[in-house]
Structure 1
Amino acid sequence: MPPFLTPLDAPALRAAGIPAPWGFGMADRVRFGELDALNHVNNVVYLRWYETLRVVYLESYGLYDLAGPDSKFVVKTVGLDYHAEVMRGAAYINVARTVAMRNSSFSMDYATFVDGTLTTTGTAVVVVLNADNSKRPLTDALRRHFIATDGAVQG
């Protein structure tokens, strides 16, 4: 298992059994407070995990700077799909990538893997806003990054 709470690149993910096209992730271990009465990860916890990963993704790639001064990234929609439960004490890797772009928003996919097995997937639409909360068009620099790093397409 790779080090916990450290951004992982594509080679580190492949070494941990995470398939392409995932190129960004972070490993951690389930904590007691993340469990529900059935001793598996509570549904809302995945949203927290993916939010944390999204912020690390944005920071690690310098996307706040690429969006321009006083920009804000706001989640418009999220979704989750559960494939298998994640139990108490499990070590896991969450991964994220940008898959599509529109004028002022982009779509991200997420996944959780335990021992190389897919357990959960998620999606989010993130809108870029100006300081006054009006929509801000994605900059060319952001678009180039999403295409080069994650293979994102115009949606």
Structure 2
Amino acid sequence: MTTKPPRDIAAYPFRTHTETRFQDLDPLGHLNNVAIAALFENGRVRFNQSLGLTHAPGTRWLIARVEIDYVAEGFFPEAVEIASGIGRVGNSSWQIVSAAFQEKGCVATSVTTLVLTNKDGSLPMDDAMRAVLAANMVEGSAEG
């Protein structure tokens, strides 16, 4: 089950400011879908860094799914605020829920599902990792 991302910036525990670029525009003059995906990637990386999580040698986090909903047109040269937090937390997977905001409000939302793995497959999270994720939940989300 996917967490529905809130369109209220106050629901998110983390925010990062990202400049848009002229090259992010499509022929209609708004931010294109590839640019929006890159803005979410930048926000997700910064959010992950803020969590301070590390993984044991031989383990890794893999992205299993990325969903993006385009809510409204985004424009250059206005900067974008990417707000992120944790959505659903499972045994070996978790969701990073994000929303992109410009002055007029939410322009897109994203849910990324990550899985903790090693060469043999998925691994259960330890209690320390689960605690960090739980401390950074998006308002209204719950562990599942």
TM-score calculated relative to the size of structure 1: 0.79
Distance in structure 1 (CA, Å) of the matches to 2:82 and 2:68? 13
- Structure 2, gaps ≥5 residues long: 1-7
Percent identity between the two aligned chains: 28
Counterpart of 2:72 in structure 1 is 84
Distance in structure 2 (CA, Å) of the matches to 1:116 and 1:36? 20
Counterpart of 1:40 in structure 2 is 30
**Cα pair distance change 1:50/1:19, threshold 3 Å:** closer
Distance in structure 2 (CA, Å) of the matches to 1:125 and 1:19? 20
Distance in structure 1 (CA, Å) of the matches to 2:129 and 2:43? 18
Deviations 1:63-92 (A, max 9, x none): 1x2x43332111111111111101121121
Counterpart of 2:134 in structure 1 is 147
Distance in structure 2 (CA, Å) of the matches to 1:40 and 1:85? 6
Distance in structure 1 (CA, Å) of the matches to 2:113 and 2:73? 25
Greater relative contact order (CA < 8 Å, ≥ 6 in sequence): 2
Amino acid paired to 1:29: E
Say which SS state the counterpart of residue 150 (structure 1) adopts.
Answer: coil
How many positions carry a matched residue from both structures?
A: 135
Deviations 1:81-123 (A, max 9, x none): 1111011211210111111111110012110111261111111
Distance in structure 2 (CA, Å) of the matches to 1:87 and 1:133? 44
- Higher helix proportion (structure 1 or 2): 1
What CA RMSD, in Å, does the superposition of the two structures yield over aligned residues? 1.8
Aligned residue runs from structure 1 range 99-138, under 5 A: 99-115=87-103, 117-130=105-118, 132=119, 134-138=121-125
Amino acid paired to 2:21: R
Say which SS state the counterpart of residue 154 (structure 1) adopts.
Answer: coil
Distance in structure 2 (CA, Å) of the matches to 1:69 and 1:153? 29
Equivalent in 2, 20, 24 of residue 30 of structure 1: 20
- Structure 1, gaps ≥5 residues long: 1-17
**Cα pair distance change 1:85/1:133, threshold 3 Å:** farther
